[in-house]
Every structure is written in structure tokens, then in C-alpha cells.
Amino acid sequence: MFVRATPEEIAAVRDQFALLTDGVPDLPTDADTTPALPGAGIPAGQWVNASGCSAMEAGALLYVHGGGFAHTEPQSERLLAYHLSKATGRPVFALDYRLAPAHPFPAALQDVLAAHDGLLAQGAAEVALFGESAGGTLVLSALLALEAERRPRAVAVSPVTDLTLSSPSLTANDGRDLINRTVLEQVCAQYLAGAPADAAPQSPLHGQLDGLPPLLLAAGSVEVLADDARRFAAAAQDAGVEVTLDVYEGMPHVFHLAMLTGAPLTTTTTFLRQLADFVTRRSA
């Protein structure tokens, strides 16, 4: 789906991004940060529940944050987890995976897999995956690393799917996005630390995609990674995978984070509705 936006909406999203540099709002008072499941066997992370439901009944959403495999912003991640929980009607576990360069590939991927397995072992009815930017890459990598019958439904926003950085939009959208090729070259080199960029699971586009579960991919039309999402969606569909690809007109990398300011925007409202519809539809 191509999600159209007016020039005013595009400007509003970028304005909200600018506001985030002054700080992120506090977590709302109705956020429940009590662990939704016992912690044994689950890597470090933070529970946020705004759904009023239990993980044993509704399932859990495993949230894998972005930050170029190397950075974390706990306050922003907790607040996004709150919105994700509100939208999906289930508790969210925001994973604190190990970071590069101290812990390059495959450390973060191992943590995602351990969190997925740990949540199920501790009684979650099911686990869906959500990742943004580098976290989206890790989500898709995790699907490839899991056995076919254990692969959960997944959402990836603005993922890097081809770590060789050969997508045309890296050039076509240069100067229009919040990041650029130079940034991504540094990110990929630091994360891979000598591992090949043209191999899976670290570079999801280069994997065997048949047998993947239903996927929801989202990207902004002007981001340098737009074609990473498009190419992965096309390859997965060719492999028989059910894929929903939403491209948001005029939106930059990780545009969905504009919701963190609390301002009601058509773009982020649409994004959350698509997310809720995808998770609810697959749960039925």
C-alpha cells in the first residue's frame, strides 16, 4: 500500500522529529512496567503493558530497537513500547540486546532468538516480533535462523535487508533522508566485524525466504533504505510468502518515531492501525 501524505503532513512529521531532540515525554501513568512473565531464561529487557491483558492470554510482542546495532535510547524505547502495546492489545517486551562494536554479529541475533524462545518457555500464548531499522534487520534475521515451524509473524520498519548496500535508493534518496550511505557503511562494518555482507542470516535478502511467516514491512518513500524494504518484499513474495508492504509518501527513516511526541498525526495513526490490523488478523 502506498500511503499518501500532504506536504503539510510531511512537514509535521519532520517537525515532531525535531522536537524529540529536546527530550522524550515521560511514560504515561497507565503504563504497567511489572514483568508480564517470569524472567528465567529471558535476556535483559523492559516490559511495558498498556493493554490490560496478560502475555499468557494475549501473547507478547517482542520489540527489537534500532540504533545501528550499537546504540540504545531506553526512554524512547519504553515510550514506543507503550504505544505498541496500546495498538496491539498485548504486553511488549523491549529487548536490551548486546551492542556492537563490543558485541558484533551474531551476538544481537542470538539475544533476539533467546528472547523469543524464553518468552514462549515462560508461558506467552504466542510471540510476534517488531523491529525498526537495525532492529528490523535483526527480526528478519531471526526468522531465517528459526526453524520454519517456529517462525512467528513479524513487522519490520525501515530495515536494512541487504548489507552489501546495493539498493538504488541509497543513491536516489541521498540528501532527502535522516541518514546516508556513509552512516550505513559505518554501521554495517561495525556490526559485521568481518562477517560477509552477502550472506544470511545477517543480510536477510541473501537468505532462503520460502517458508517465512506473514510479514508487514513499512518504509518511507524518501528514505535511503526504501528499496531494501521493496526488494525484500518482492523476493519474499516470489518465494511464496504473504507480505504486506506499506510505503509512506515523503517519510524519512523510522518515521513512526514521530508518535513519541504525543501529537496526533495522520501518518502515525495509520501506521498503528496497520500494525494492529496485522497482529489482530494473524491472531484470529
Residue entry with cell 494492529 = 276
pLDDT band for 282, please (50, 70, 90 cuts).
Answer: low
The confidence band for 22, taking pLDDT boundaries of 50, 70 and 90, is confident
**Confidence tier at 82 by pLDDT (50, 70, 90):** very high
Nearest-CA neighbor of 228 among 179, 161, 164, 134? 161
In the prediction, which pLDDT does 254 show? 96
Specify the pLDDT at position 45.
Answer: 97
Q: Is residue 133 among the annotated active site residues? A: yes
Catalytic annotation present for 223: yes
Residues 146, 137, 67, 47: is their CA dihedral positive or negative? negative
Q: Are 48 and 94 in contact (CB under 8 A)?
A: yes
pLDDT in tens, 95-136: 999 999 999 999 999 999 999 999 999 999 999 999 999 999
Query: Can you spell out the DSSP letters for 176-198?
Result: TSSS-HHHHHHHHHHHHTTS-TT
In the structure grid, which three cell numbers stand for residue 58, read together?
494475549
**pLDDT of 284 above 60:** no
Q: Which of 133, 158, 167, 221 is catalytic?
A: 133
Chain Cα centroid distance, residue 188: 17
pLDDT over 60 at 202, yes or no: yes
**Which grid cell is 73?**
535510547
169 is catalytic: no
Rounded Cα distance, 232 and 207, in Å: 10
The pLDDT tens digits for 42-71 are: 999 999 999 999 999 999 999 999 999 999
Q: Dump pLDDT digits (tens) for 219-244.
A: 999 999 999 999 999 999 999 999 99
Q: Pull the grid cell for residue 61.
A: 510482542
CB 269 within 8 A of CB 25: no
Per the structure, the count of domains in the chain is: 1
Which structural domain range is residue 152 located in?
2-283
| Residue tagged active-site, from 167, 203, 223, 256 | 223
Higher pLDDT, residue 84 or 41: 84
pLDDT of residue 182: 96
Cβ-based neighbour number of residue 41 at 10 Å: 14
Q: At which residue does the C-alpha cell 551492542 appear? A: 99
Residues 140-186: tens digit of each pLDDT: 999 999 998 899 999 999 999 999 999 999 999 999 999 999 999 99
Alpha helices in the chain (DSSP H): 7-20, 55-58, 74-88, 107-121, 134-145, 169-172, 181-192, 226-238, 266-283
Q: How many CB atoms lie within 10 A of CB 28?
A: 13
Write down the pLDDT at residue 283.
Answer: 53
Q: What CA–CA distances, in Å, run from 14 to 20, 68, 257?
A: 10, 20, 10
Query: Per the residue annotation, which of 83, 206, 253, 256 is the catalytic one?
Result: 253
The pLDDT score that the predictor gives to residue 268 is 97
pTM of structure:
0.96
- Domain of 233, CATH number, reads 3.40.50.1820
